[in-house]
Amino acid sequence: MAPKQPRAWQRMLSGRRLDLLDPTAVDIEIEDIAHGLAFVARWNGQTHGDFAYSVAEHSLLVETLFGRLCPTASAADRLTALLHDAPEYVIGDMISPVKAAVGPDYGDLDKRLTAAIHIRFGLPSVTPVRLKKQIKKADQISAWMEATEIAGFTKDEANKLFGAPNPDMIAGLAIELRPPVEARHDLTARHTELLAQMP
């Protein structure tokens, strides 16, 4: 008798059953993504404040920064930026040293989930290289802000790890620590807004 295969699916609050090894677009819902990301802490939770800095909050900031870096970007490109960490609603946010220790399996899982999420919302299953680099730049600026404002890094340390941002890119922006329900609501609302702007 063959050994029973371990369960590889997760039941979502929407009622969807997401197969983590073979995810499909029909099992993806923005409400599940926003809810999950609002409860996933960046920096393994090692941040100052009364609330964790969630991946949902980070995603909103990255999309804002991406819009500043690429002011003529399409709604689809901005939605891609907003969803750049969306797979973390089921696989969590691992800091870079942990990702390196886990190895390529984490990256493969991330790619499969990203493809399913993108297909669900009318985006290319694979992000074009140029767009991915632009989003990564916004992600690095966000990481610098997070590192220096809430994660205990000095500016010199953050500059070495993430690069010093152009002051114009971060003018008027600050890290917000809010209850998960607020980040969840804003992520869902921004997703709806961008989706409505797509052809």
Each residue of 25-44: pLDDT tens digit? 999 999 999 999 999 999 99
Q: What is the pTM of this model?
A: 0.93
How far, CA to CA in Å, does 65 sit from each of 69, 77, 170, 180? 6, 13, 8, 21
Residue from 147, 79, 154 nearest 114 by CA: 79
Please say if the pLDDT value at position 6 is more than 80: no
Which of 3-7, 29-33, 91-95, 122-126 has the lowest average pLDDT? 3-7
Structural domains of the chain, with CATH: 19-197 (1.10.3210.10)
- Per-residue pLDDT band for 100 (boundaries 50, 70, 90) equals low
Mean residue pLDDT across the chain: 93
Please say if the pLDDT value at position 129 is more than 90: yes
Each residue of 159-190: pLDDT tens digit? 999 999 999 999 999 999 999 999 999 999 99
Q: Which helix (H) or strand (E) holds 145?
A: helix 129-149
Please say if the pLDDT value at position 58 is more than 80: yes
